[in-house]
Structure 1
Amino acid sequence: MESKLESNLYVSAPNDSELVQNIEDYFERIWQNQDAQYTVDYDEYSGALTTAKRALYYVQKITLFTTY
Structure 2
Amino acid sequence: MSKYTELMKKSILLNSLTREEMNRYLSDGSFKISTYGKNKIIHFTGERCAKLEIILAGKVVVERIDQSG
The TM-score, its normalising length taken from structure 1, stands at 0.23
The structure in which a higher percent of residues are helix is: 1
Structure showing greater Rg: 1
Q: What TM-score, normalized to structure 2?
A: 0.22
